[in-house]
Amino acid sequence: MGKGMGRRPKVDLESGVEDATLLILEWLGEQGVGAMIRVDAERMRDGQSAWTFAASGGPLNGGMRADGASVAECMGRALAQLREAGLSVPF
Task: Evaluate if residue 29 carries a pLDDT over 80.
Answer: yes
Task: Please tell me the distance from the alpha carbon of residue 51 to that of residue 67, in angstroms, as a whole number.
Answer: 6
Tell me the pTM.
0.79
Nearest-10 Cα torsion for 90, 57, 36, 25: 20
**Coil, strand, or helix at residue 43?**
helix
pLDDT of residue 12: 53
pLDDT of residue 19: 79
Task: Please tell me the distance from the alpha carbon of residue 90 to that of residue 15, in angstroms, as a whole number.
Answer: 14
Task: Please tell me the distance from the alpha carbon of residue 17 to that of residue 41, in angstroms, as a whole number.
Answer: 22
